[in-house]
Amino acid sequence: MQSMTKTALSLAVGIGIGLSAATSAWSAESLEQVMEKRGLTQKDLLAAAKTYTPTGGRDEYLAFASGGQSGQVIVYGIPSMRILKYIGVFTPEPWQGYGFDDESKAVLAQGRVRGKDILFGDTHHPAITETNGEYDGRYLFINDKANPRVAVIDLHDFETKQIVVNPLFKSQHGGAFVTENTEYVITAAQYAAPYTNDFVPLEKFNDEYRGGITYWKFDRDKGRIDESASFTVEAPPYSQDLSDAGKGPSHGWSFTNSFCSERYVGGIERGRPPFEAGCSSKDTDFLHAVNWRKAAELIAAGKGKKVNGAKLLPIDVAVANDVLFLIPEPKSPHGVDVTPDGKFMVVSGKLDSHASVYSFEKIQNAIKNKKFEGKDPYGIPIIAMEDALHTQAELGLGPLHTQFDAKECVAYTSLYVDSMVAKWNYCEGKVLDKISIHYNIGHLMTMEGDSVSPDGKYLVALNKLAIDRFNPVGPLHPQNHQLIDISGEKMELLYDMPLPLGEPHYVVSIAADKLKPVVRYKSRTNSRTDERSPYGVRAGREKTERTCDDKGQCTVHVYGTTIRSHITPEIIEVEQGDIVSIHLTNLERAQDQVHGFAMYGQNIQLSLEPGKTASATFVADQTGVFPYYCTEFCSALHLEMQGYLLVKPKGYKSENLKMEEGTAYTKADYETQVKTNVDTQAVIDMVVAFITSHNYKDFPLVVGLVEDATDQLGFAGEAKKKAEAAAAKKDWQNAMLWANQWWQYQVKTADLGLRAKTFLEQNNAKKVN
Ligand code: K7E
Ligand code: CUA
User: Relative to the alpha carbon of 565, which ligand is closest?
Assistant: 2
What proportion of the chain, given as a percentage, has pLDDT over 70? 96
Q: Kindly tell me if the per-residue pLDDT of 769 is higher than 50.
A: no
Region at 260 (left for phi over 0; alpha for psi -120 to 50; beta for the rest): left
Is the Cβ atom of 334 under 6 angstroms away from ligand 1? Answer: yes
Can you tell me the mean pLDDT for 722-733? 95
Determine the residue type at 64: F
- Residue of 18 and 327 predicted with greater confidence: 327
- 348 pLDDT exceeds 80? yes
423 strand-pairing partners: 412, 433
Give 511-522 pLDDT, tens digit per residue. Answer: 999 999 999 999
Confidence of residue 23 (pLDDT cuts 50, 70, 90): very low
Q: CB of 251 closer than 6 A to ligand 1?
A: no
Q: What's the average model confidence in pLDDT over 204-211?
A: 96
User: What DSSP designation does 653 have?
Assistant: P
Q: CB-hemisphere CA count at 13 Å for 509?
A: 29
In the reported structure, the alpha carbon of residue 632 is separated from the centroid of ligand 2 by a whole-number distance in angstroms of: 5
Measured from the Cβ of residue 270, the count of other Cβ atoms closer than 10 Å reads: 8
Decide whether any atom of ligand 2 lies within 6 Å of the 566 Cβ. Answer: no
Atom number, ligand 2, closest to the C-alpha of residue 567 = 1
Bridge partner list, 544: 558
Measure CA 684 to chain center: 40
Position 14 scores a pLDDT of 53
Helix (H) or strand (E) holding 12: helix 6-14
Confidence of residue 281 (pLDDT cuts 50, 70, 90): confident
CA separation for the pair 720, 741 (Å, rounded): 8
pLDDT band with cut points at 50, 70 and 90 for residue 18: very low
* Phi and psi at residue 222, to the nearest 5°: -85, -20
- Which residue, by CA, sits nearest to atom 6 of ligand 1? 442
- Name 335's Cβ contacts closer than 8 Å, sequence gap at least 6: 241, 242, 257, 347, 348, 400, 401, 402, 443
Pick from 592, 723, 604: which is nearest to 665 by CA? 723
**Residue range 167-203, pLDDT digits in tens:** 999 999 998 999 999 999 999 999 999 999 999 999 9
User: Which has the minimum average pLDDT: 391-405, 542-556, 579-593, 689-703?
Assistant: 689-703
Give the list of residues 6+ apart from residue 55 with CB closer than 8 angstroms, or none. Answer: none
Instruction: Please state, as a whole number, how many other Cβ atoms lie within 10 Å of the Cβ of residue 417.
Output: 15
Q: How many CA atoms lie within 13 A of 743 on its CB side?
A: 21
Q: Is 411 in the pocket of ligand 2 (CB under 6 A)?
A: no
Ligand nearest to the CA of 69: 1
What strand order describes the sheet that includes 61-66? 83-88, 72-78, 61-66, 507-511
Q: Which atom of ligand 2 is nearest to the CA of 629?
A: 2
What average pLDDT score do residues 365-370 get?
Answer: 97
350 lines ligand 1 (CB under 6 A): no
2 pLDDT exceeds 70? no
Over residues 353-363, mean pLDDT: 96
Ligand 2 proximity of 341 Cβ (cutoff 6 Å): no
Show the DSSP H helices in 516-557 as ranges: none
Can you give the pLDDT at residue 654? 84
Would you say the CB of residue 125 lies under 6 angstroms from ligand 1? yes
Residue nearest to atom 2 of ligand 1 (CA): 124
Distance (Å) from CA 143 to ligand 1 centroid? 12
Residue type, 433: D
Q: Which residues pair with 389 in a beta bridge?
A: 358
Q: 207-216, 257-266, 424-433: lowest mean pLDDT where?
A: 257-266
Q: What number of other Cβ atoms are within 10 A of residue 196's Cβ?
A: 12
Q: What is the mean pLDDT of residues 280-284?
A: 84
d(CA 324, CA 322): 6
392 or 761, greater pLDDT: 392
List Cβ neighbours of 741 (8 Å cut-off, separation of 6 or more).
Answer: 719, 722, 723
In whole angstroms, what is the distance from residue 641 CA to residue 629 CA?
6
Angle CA(210)–CA(216)–CA(220) in degrees, nearest 5? 175
Q: What is the pTM of this model?
A: 0.92
Residue 765 has a pLDDT of 66
- Give bridge partners of residue 243 from the DSSP assignment: 256
Q: What is the pLDDT of residues 294-330, one digit of tens each?
A: 999 999 999 999 999 999 999 999 999 999 999 999 8
pLDDT of residue 9: 53
Name the burial class of residue 558, with classes exposed (0-12), middle (13-18) and buried (19+) by CB atoms within 10 angstroms of its CB. buried
CA of 644 to the centre of ligand 2 (A): 15
According to the model, what pLDDT value does residue 22 have? 46
Q: pLDDT at position 94, please?
A: 96
Nearest atom in ligand 2 to 632's CA: 2
Q: Which atom of ligand 1 is nearest to the CA of 145?
A: 2
Longest dimension (CA), the chain: 101
Average pLDDT value over all residues in the chain: 93
Is omega for the bond preceding 569 within 30 degrees of 0, making it cis?
yes
Minimum mean pLDDT among 37-51, 276-290, 309-323, 331-345: which range? 276-290
Residue 507 to residue 76: CA distance in whole angstroms = 10
Q: Which of 256, 400, 506 to mutate to test the pocket of ligand 1 (most atoms within 8 A of CB)?
A: 506
From the alpha carbon of 634, which atom of ligand 2 is closest? 2
For ligand 1, say whether the CB of 398 is within 6 Å of any of its atoms: no
> Using CA atoms, how far apart are residues 750 and 767, in angstroms rounded to an integer?
25
Question: Which sign does the torsion angle of CA 135, 140, 143, 148 carry?
Answer: negative
Question: Ligand 2 center to residue 507 CA distance, Å?
Answer: 34
**To 10 degrees, the CA torsion angle through 56, 57, 59, 60?**
140
pLDDT tens-place string over residues 609-662: 999 999 999 999 999 999 999 999 998 888 989 999 999 999 898 888 888 888
pLDDT, position 121: 96
DSSP states of 138-151: EEEEEEETTTTEEE
Q: How many residues does the chain have?
A: 769
Ligand closest to 259 (CA) is: 1
Ligand 2 and 595: CB distance under 6 A: yes
- What is the pLDDT confidence band of residue 13, given thresholds at 50, 70 and 90? low
Smallest-distance ligand from the CA of 243: 1
Verify whether ligand 2 is closer than 6 Å to residue 630 (CB atom): yes
**Ligand 2 atom nearest to 630, measured from its CA:** 2
The answer to whether 169 touches 186, Cβ cutoff 8 Å, is no
| Pocket of ligand 2 contains residue 241 by CB under 6 Å | no
Residues 6 or more apart from 69 whose CB is under 8 A from it?
120, 122, 502, 503
CA distances from 735 to 204, 405, 563, 659, 712 (A): 83, 70, 22, 17, 20
Cα separation, 507 vs 67, in Å, equals 9
Give the closest ligand to the alpha carbon of residue 607. 2
Q: For ligand 1, say whether the CB of 342 is within 6 Å of any of its atoms.
A: no
pLDDT in tens, 647-699: 999 989 888 888 888 889 999 999 999 999 999 999 999 988 898 888 888 88
Minimum CA distance residue for ligand 1 atom 3:
505
Residue nearest to atom 1 of ligand 2 (CA): 595
Nearest ligand 2 atom, CA 595: 1
What does the pLDDT read at residue 8?
Answer: 57
pLDDT at 587 over 50: yes
Whole-number Cα distances in Å, 285 to 236, 256, 354, 662, 675: 12, 11, 14, 79, 84
Supply the pLDDT for residue 5: 61
Residue 413's DSSP bridge partners are: 402, 422
Is the confidence at residue 401, as pLDDT, over 80? yes
| Ligand closest to CA 635 | 2
State in Å: Cα 521 to ligand 2 middle: 18
CA 274 to centroid of ligand 2, rounded, Å: 57
Q: Is pLDDT at 239 greater than 50 in this prediction?
A: yes
Q: Where are the beta strands (DSSP E) in 464-578?
A: 479-485, 492-499, 507-511, 525-526, 531-532, 543-548, 554-563, 566-568, 571-575
Locate the ligand 2 atom nearest the alpha carbon of residue 562 and give its number: 1
* Cα 157–Cα 161–Cα 165 angle in degrees, nearest 5: 150
Distance CA 769, CA 756 (A): 20
Select from 66, 70, 124 the residue to mutate for testing ligand 1; criterion: most ligand atoms less than 8 Å from CB.
Answer: 124
Query: Is 486 within 8 Å of 412 (Cβ atoms)?
Result: yes
| pLDDT value of position 225 | 98
What's the confidence (pLDDT) of residue 21?
Answer: 45
Q: Are 153 and 89 in contact (CB under 8 A)?
A: yes
CA 400 to ligand 1: nearest atom: 1
Give the position, in ligand 2's atom list, of the atom nearest the Cα of 638: 2
CA pair distance 217, 609, nearest whole angstrom: 31
Rounded to whole angstroms, how far apart are CA atoms 263 and 377?
11
